[in-house]
Amino acid sequence: MTGDPFLVAASLSGAADAEWARRAAGYVDVALLGGVALDPASRAAARDLVARGREEFLPTDPLGFVADQLDAVADIDDSPVRPGINVRSATLGPVREAAEICADRDAVCEINAHCRQPELRAVGCGESLLRDPDRLSRYVAAAAETGATTSVKVRAGLPGVDLAATATVAAEAGADWLHVDAMDSEAAVGAVASALDDAPADATLIANNGVRGRETVAEYAARGADAVSVGRPTEDPPVLARVADAVADWRAGALCDRSGDGEYEPEQDPEPEARP
Ligand SMILES: Cc1cc2nc3c(=O)[nH]c(=O)nc-3n(C[C@H](O)[C@H](O)[C@H](O)COP(=O)(O)O)c2cc1C
115 lines ligand 1 (CB under 6 A): yes
Sorted by where each starts, the structural domains of the chain and their CATH numbers stand as: 7-258 (3.20.20.70)
Atom 20 (ligand 1) nearest CA: 231
Residue 77 CA to residue 41 CA, distance in Å, equals: 37
Separation of CA 13 and ligand 1 centre (Å): 7
211 lines ligand 1 (CB under 6 A): yes
Residue 69 CA to residue 58 CA, distance in Å, equals: 13
171 lines ligand 1 (CB under 6 A): no
Which pLDDT value is given to residue 264?
41
83 lines ligand 1 (CB under 6 A): no
Phi, psi of 165 (to 5 degrees): -65, -40
| Per-10-residue mean pLDDT, the chain, length 276 | 86 98 97 98 98 98 98 92 98 98 98 97 97 98 98 97 96 98 94 94 96 97 97 98 98 72 49 51
Separation of CA 32 and ligand 1 centre (Å): 11
Which pLDDT value is given to residue 267?
63
204 lines ligand 1 (CB under 6 A): no
213 lines ligand 1 (CB under 6 A): no
